[in-house]
Amino acid sequence: MEKIQEFSRIKFRIKDAVYEGIVMPRTLYEDEDHFTVKLNNGYNIGVEKGKIEILEIEPPKVSSEQPYEKGFESTGPKILILGTGGTISSKVDYRTGAVKPAFTASQIVDMVPELKNLASISVKTIMNELSENMQPSNWTLMAREVYNAFKDGYEGVVIAHGTDTMHYSASALSFAIENPSGPVVFVGSQRSSDRPSSDAATNLLGAAIFAAKSHSPGVYVAMHASMDDDIIAIHKGVKVRKNHTSRRDAFKSINAKPFAHVDVKNLQIKFSEKKTEVEEPMNIYEKFSERAALLRFYPGISEKLLSSIFNKELFDAITIEGTGLGHVSRKAFPYIKDYINKGGFVGMTSQCIWGSVRLTVYETGRDLLSMGVIPLEDMLSEVALVKSMWVIGNGLDLKATMPKNLRGEISERREAL
Amino acid sequence: MKVGFEIHIQVNSRRKLFCNCNPKDDDSSQLEFRRRLRVSTSELGEIDPAAAFEIKKGLNIVYVSGDKTSCLVEADEEPPHEPDPYSVEAAIKVSNMLNSFIVDEIHFMRKIVVDGSNTSGFQRTAIIGLNGSYAFRGKNVRIQTICLEEDAARLLEKGEGYVKYELKRLGIPLLEITTEPLEISPEEAKALAESLGRTLKLTGLFARGLGTIRQDVNVSVEGGGIVEVKGVQKLEQIQKVIEFEEKRQKMLLEVAAKLKERGISEESFADLKPIEVSDVFKNHSNILSVKRFFKDYAFALKAPGLKGLFSYETVPDSRLGLDLADICRLFGFKGIIHSDEISKYDFGQDILKELENKLEISENDGFVLVFGDKEKAVLCLQMVKERLKMALKGPVAETRYATEKGTTRYLRPRPGASRMYPETDIPTIRITQEMKDKYMVEIKSWEKAVEEFSSRHLINKEMAEQILDSEFTDFFENAVENYKNVPPTLLASLIVQVFIPYQNSGKVIEYDEFLKLLDAFSKGNIAKEAVIDVARYMLEKGVNLESALKEMNIEKLSLEELRKIIKEKIDEALQENVEPSKLYGTVMGRVMSLVRGKIEGKIVNEEVKKALENINKA
């Protein structure tokens, strides 16, 4: 069967009717035995090669379509929007059906026209990774870009990021930048930005408003507060977790209230916690080590696994996600003891997600304490892992630094609400 | 004139097309959430201006979600599940039944819809069959496409800048069957829609009930564009709507010819702009009409050559002026004032002269006037300008909706090629030759079906056909099954005499109350003759069974009470010296007028006869 070039216009016959259409590219997951044809009515159909009688083929025209770049103006405090790969802004080419990223300043203002009078935006793409592929080296790059942005006089920085590991990156940056000069707001979207229903635009708007106008330095995550489109929650980067696979309000502050909310209809910020103050000097500690690990404990955990993880040759710090108040089975004790004696650091968090660990309440906890396990109070396990990678990477002392509340990752109190 | 149909019919699957909700379940609770749909400003221009205006204003959408009849998928909080296999099969079956070419791969597309009726901002739709045919009165009607798609949410309320939808209907699988435009008469068109509808109903693949089948009708006359008329729910309307459209469109051809005669062309509209005329009204603020309409702003647009053509109509309610008023309403105005009717508003000659001067009105020109704030007024008049420009061409492609009376009103401009792109959350579905060979359904004969229904339930053929054509087939069959001592003929009468005529009024029938009515009859608490009357009363007054019975004073009469009445009436008749041969008739008549519905006519008959016999014996 002849190979027809993608985007060729063809005239073909089905039974006694003649149709016109464009030959569409096949995706990686589709076979080569069929054509995908876009008919004049806009629908795509899949037909077996050889089933249709092709009457005419017109080779594809070179598309003279310019990407949308309209002159635009946006005024207000200067903010920088960094792109890391999540498609927070995209455009559909209806001719081909392809969804293309649309990540220039004018394209973003096209998508979120409210920004015109709110902030003077600049846009920079610094990497192109699905967030599940992020590595500590990406965090280092992000931290550097943010640090430089503040040095260059930006009021705030927004980082567009995939939602899967956005909380890991937010923690990384919280530690990497000491005393940021302004807000650093991570933002993503659960429903892709090509849809009219996407949460991208309002999330971005909320993030930009907070970055430009809150004057509350720190690292945050901005996502929908509920299923409604009106309010964007601003969570502290070290107190937030992705708790749902698909909902708009997947991100929730854990063991804390969201730091603030942005009403994107009325363009107003409402703080639930006290604003932070700018402190000097701003320092960057951008290294992260991979000699740290996170272990989720469970009944029946294999001793082979325990022995391979509690290995000082491989890892300097293990964060355990224990059960309940921070417990593991006594089966693990010898491995933990041995590891700590060899100089390893073991920090305890809970897989319950909410609540604080307390090793003084039950026997198991007390045994772990006596071994030298360090309770990390209500620090999220993901945050503890990233913190340990950062501590090791920057040559700090694990035992002293891990339990210390550096960026608000440990709450002194947990409210009943 | 050419007519085409798009029939949308709900598949009777237990689940929705892209999730496992059952729309027939009973919700135990509901929640509401608020959304806004967004389209980039660069794309806004490609959508129709009124929709773009709504979005730009920030149309607030409220969705109501029942806990059992919708889930995170309908709320656009979870990706769609794999398509319902039963619906895919049904689509293949119907495509085979209509002799279509069935695609080898189903590619679901996203069709952009921004009025809020789809939570994701698009409708998922796919072509299953192409180029089919349907035999009708010796012709082969070509079926252009057979598509499988999801139904939209149901509009509950609409207000200033806000709409409210219910999610129960969203996601129900629909088959959309589109015929090619045919040269047929309005009567034939109605018959075709009826025939196709009946054929589809008899496959047993589709849901039955109110709103499960909807048709859009496309009408075009020679020299004009295709007008799509949405929401023609009832077959009776189809004929009326087509007749109206044919006349309206021919009238627009006349208007176009007249404009040409007057030397109007596209050129005449080239530099035309809405002009602010607030000063004209400010200067005459003491005039009553000015006080009535004018607040702060007034804007007007010259309409070249259109004098007399705003009000011109060959059939009532078809005039151009109505379309312009409808366009203005989309922007939140109450209406528009055009030059053909301005004299009835008593603005006075001075204002008229000033307007004509300001707008540079010549002999054959007209103008339109709106009162309201600048942004709205300018956008609205720009859309009006486009509409007037189109009048040069005659009837243009646009979307209208059908009214109860069988007329049509403007809804929105016909979109260009639909904005569609692949639904990448759903992998392509392979349709194998095996599947194409396996999933078949035949065209059943309507006459045979009617006969079979009629003989199975022992009701006459006319009633059988009416019931099968109606939304109430399921109700009938369930009632026959569950209320075995209700004669099917009574049930049939209930449907034919009460439900069907009532349904044409468009109101919803609460079946539960009528099941209670059948129950009461089953238990002998209501006489047979009363059932129809009570049912009618319940619907007309909108009351439940209990209230109806109370208000109608229908309480079953005891035998004793009946005998008392009979004795009374006999005595009365004897007193009046009624002729013996006429005695029975008189007494029966008088008694029945008192007890009708409260006791079986048969029993009254027996008792009267008995009583008279006893008297004769005496």
The C-alpha R_g of chain A, in whole angstroms, comes to 26
CB contact under 8 A, A39 and B127: yes
> Among B388, B391, B396, which residue's Cα sits nearest to residue B221?
B396
| Helix A166-176 vs helix A381-393: crossing angle, to nearest 10 | 40
Residue with tokens 């060729």: A8
CA within 13 Å, CB half, A400: 3
pLDDT greater than 70 at residue A2 = no
**pLDDT value at residue B551:** 81
Mapped onto helix, strand or coil, the DSSP state of residue B317 is coil
Give the mean pLDDT of chain A.
Answer: 93
Minimal CA separation from B552 to chain A, in Å: 49
Cα–Cα distance measured from residue A124 to residue A128, given in angstroms and rounded to the nearest whole number: 11
- Of the residues A26, A87, A94, the best mutation for testing chain B's interface (the one with the most B CB atoms within 10 Å of its CB) is A94
The owner of tokens 């192109």 is: A128
* Contact yes or no for A42 and B428 at CB 8 A: no
CB-side exposure of B103: number of CA atoms within 13 Å? 28
Q: Give the one of A36, A39, A196 whose C-beta lies nearest to B38's C-beta.
A: A196
Q: H-helix or E-strand containing A301?
A: none
Interface check B139 vs A, CB under 8 A? no
Contact residues for B553 (Cβ-Cβ < 8 A; gap 6+): none
- For residue A47, the model assigns a pLDDT of 94
Q: What is the pLDDT of residues A132-164, one digit of tens each?
A: 999 999 999 999 999 999 999 999 999 999 999
Confidence of residue A71 (pLDDT cuts 50, 70, 90): low
CB of B96 within 8 Å of any CB in chain A? no
Residue located via tokens 């601003």:
A234
The interface residues of chain B toward chain A in range 16-35, judged by CB-CB distance below 8 A, are: 33-35
Give A32→chain B minimum CA distance, Å: 12
Q: Any idea of the CA torsion for A176, A177, A178, A183, to the nearest 10 degrees? A: -140
- Across the interface, whether the CB atoms of B72 and A247 are under 8 A apart is answered yes
Cα of B383 to nearest chain A Cα, Å: 23
Task: Choose, out of A109, A197, A245, the residue to mutate when testing the contact with B (most B CBs < 10 Å).
Answer: A197
| Cα A260 to Cα A117, A219, A231, A349, A402, distances in angstroms | 22, 12, 10, 26, 27
Q: Does A48 sit within 8 Å of B420, measured CB to CB?
A: no
Q: Per-residue pLDDT averaged across B203-215, rounded?
A: 87
- Min Cα separation A86/chain B (Å): 17
- Chain A residues with CB under 8 Å of B76 CB are 191, 197
Q: Is it the case that residue B530 has pLDDT exceeding 50? A: yes
Whether residues B109 and A43 touch (CB distance < 8 A) is answered with yes
Helix (H) or strand (E) segment spanning residue A388:
helix A381-393
- Pairwise CA distance, residues B616 & B618, whole Å: 5
User: How much is the pLDDT for B491?
Assistant: 92
CA nearest to A366, candidates A324, A327, A319: A327
Shortest distance between the Cα of B539 and any Cα of chain A, in A, equals 39
Q: Do B418 and A17 touch (CB under 8 A)?
A: no
- Under the banding of pLDDT at 50, 70 and 90, the label for residue B614 is confident
Residues of chain A with C-beta less than 8 angstroms from the C-beta of B142: 17
Closest A-chain CA to B131 = A17
Of A45, A110, A202, the CB nearest to B40: A110
| Dist CA B228 CA B8 (whole Å) | 14
Task: Check residues A15 and A122 and name the one with the higher pLDDT.
Answer: A122
Cross-chain residue pair B120–A15, CB shorter than 8 Å: no
- Give the residue numbers of A annotated as catalytic, written as ranges: 87, 163-164, 242
What one-character-per-residue DSSP string does B366-382 give? EEEEEES-HHHHHHHHH
Q: What is the pLDDT of residues B52-86, one digit of tens each?
A: 777 777 789 999 999 999 999 999 999 999 999 99
Interface with A, mutate which of B18, B43, B81, B105 (most A CBs under 10 A): B105
Contact list, B420 vs chain A (CB under 8 Å): 42-43, 94, 97
Residue B586, phi then psi, degrees to nearest 5:
-60, -50
pLDDT in tens, B393-431: 999 889 999 998 889 999 887 766 668 899 999 999 999
Q: pLDDT digits over A80-134, tens only?
A: 999 998 778 888 888 888 888 888 888 898 889 999 899 999 999 999 999 999 9
pLDDT-based confidence at residue A179 (cuts at 50, 70, 90):
very high
Exposure string for A352-373, b = 16+ CB within 10 A, e = fewer: eeeebbbbeeeebbebbeebeb
User: Hey, what are B235's tokens?
Assistant: 């077959």
Overall size of chain A counted in residues: 417
Task: Quote the Cα angle for B25-B28-B31, to 5°.
Answer: 105
Question: Measured between beta carbons, which residues in chain A are less than 8 angstroms from residue B72?
Answer: 246-247
Pairing of strands B60-66, B162-166: parallel
Name the residue facing B78 among A19, A230, A246 (closest C-beta): A246
Q: Is B161 near chain A, with CB under 8 Å?
A: no
Q: A42 and B109: CB-CB below 8 Å?
A: yes
Distance from CA of A193 to the nearest CA of B (A): 10
> What tokens does B242 get?
């087509």
Query: What's the DSSP call for residue A115?
Result: G
A94 vs chain B: nearest CA distance in angstroms?
6
Q: How confident is the model at residue A1 (pLDDT cuts 50, 70, 90)?
A: very low
**Dihedral sign, CA of B162, B167, B171, B176?**
negative
Distance from CA of B235 to the nearest CA of A (A): 28
Amino acid letter, residue B257: A
Cα B305 vs. chain centroid, distance in angstroms?
A: 37
Scanning every residue of chain A, which has its alpha carbon at the shortest distance from the alpha carbon of B46?
A94
Chain B residues within 8 A of A15 when measuring between CB atoms: 101, 131
Q: Using an 8 Å Cβ cutoff, are B207 and B35 in contact? A: no
Is the alpha carbon torsion for A166, A171, A175, A179 positive or negative? Answer: positive
Residues 6+ apart with CB under 8 A from B524: B556
Contacts of A173 (CB under 8 A, 6+ apart): A139, A142, A143, A146, A159, A184, A186, A219, A237
Partners of B416 on chain A (C-beta within 8 Å) are: none
Statement: residue A66 has pLDDT above 80? no
A44·B109 Cβ contact <8 A: yes
Exposure letters A114-123 (e unless 16+ CB within 10 A, then b): bbeebbbbeb
Task: Provide, as residue numbers in chain B, all residues whose Cβ is less than 8 Å from the Cβ of A35.
Answer: none
In chain B, what percentage of residues exceed pLDDT 70?
Answer: 97
| Contact between chains at B35 and A194 (C-beta distance less than 8 A) | no
B439-496, pLDDT tens digit by residue? 999 999 999 999 999 999 999 999 999 999 988 888 899 899 988 888 899 999 999 9
Q: Quick one: average pLDDT of A220-235?
A: 98
Amino acid present at B25? D
Is 90 exceeded by the pLDDT of residue A29? no
Q: Give per-residue pLDDT as tens, B10-32.
A: 999 999 999 999 999 999 999 99
Q: Give yes or no for B425 touching A (CB within 8 A).
A: no
Please state, in angstroms and rounded to a whole number, the distance separating the CA atoms of residues A139 and B568.
Answer: 102
Distances (CA, A) of B223 to B254, B387, B389: 11, 17, 16
Instruction: Identify whether the C-beta of residue A167 lies closer than 8 Å to the C-beta of residue A240.
Output: yes
- Is B120 close to A196, i.e. CB distance below 8 A? yes
Q: Which of A16, A197, A228 sits opposite B119 (nearest CB)?
A: A197
Residue B384, Ramachandran bin (φ over 0: left; ψ between -120 and 50: alpha; else beta): alpha
Tokens of A349: 């968090």
Nearest CA to CA, how far is B43 from chain A (Å)?
9
The CA-atom distances, in angstroms, between B234 and each of B107, B173, B214, B221 are 32, 21, 8, 23
ipTM over 0.90: yes
Identify the pLDDT of residue B137: 93
pLDDT value of residue B555: 67
Cβ <8 Å between B120 and A195: yes
| pLDDT for res B432 | 96
Strands, DSSP E only, in B11-121? 30-35, 60-66, 101-102, 105-106, 109-112
Size of interface A-B (CB pairs under 8 A): 126
Residue B145, H or E segment: strand B139-150
Q: Are B80 and B426 in contact (CB under 8 A)?
A: yes
Across the interface, whether the CB atoms of A41 and B417 are under 8 A apart is answered yes
Place of tokens 């089975």: A329
Tally the C-alpha atoms within 13 A of residue B34's C-alpha that lie toward its C-beta.
11
Report whether pLDDT(B186) > 70: yes
Q: Do A40 and B417 touch (CB under 8 A)?
A: yes
Q: How far is CA B35 from CA A102, A229, A265, B21, B29, in A?
A: 23, 5, 11, 22, 20
Cβ neighbours of residue A379 under 8 Å, at least 6 residues apart?
Answer: A238, A349, A387, A409, A410
Report, as an integer, the average pLDDT of A41-63: 88
Give the residue from chain B lying closest to A107, CA to CA: B40
Contact B33, B40 (CB under 8 A): no
Which DSSP letter does residue B206 get?
A: B
- Average pLDDT on B366-374 reads 90
Average pLDDT of chain B to the nearest whole number: 90
Q: What is the pLDDT of residue B35?
A: 96
User: Do B39 and A246 make contact, defined as CB atoms within 8 angstroms?
Assistant: no
Task: Give me the percent of chain A exceeding a pLDDT of 70.
Answer: 97
CB–CB contact B107 A44 (8 Å):
yes
Q: Give the one of A19, A42, A97 whose C-beta lies nearest to B418's C-beta.
A: A42
A45 → closest Cβ in B107, B125, B420: B107
pLDDT at position B416? 60
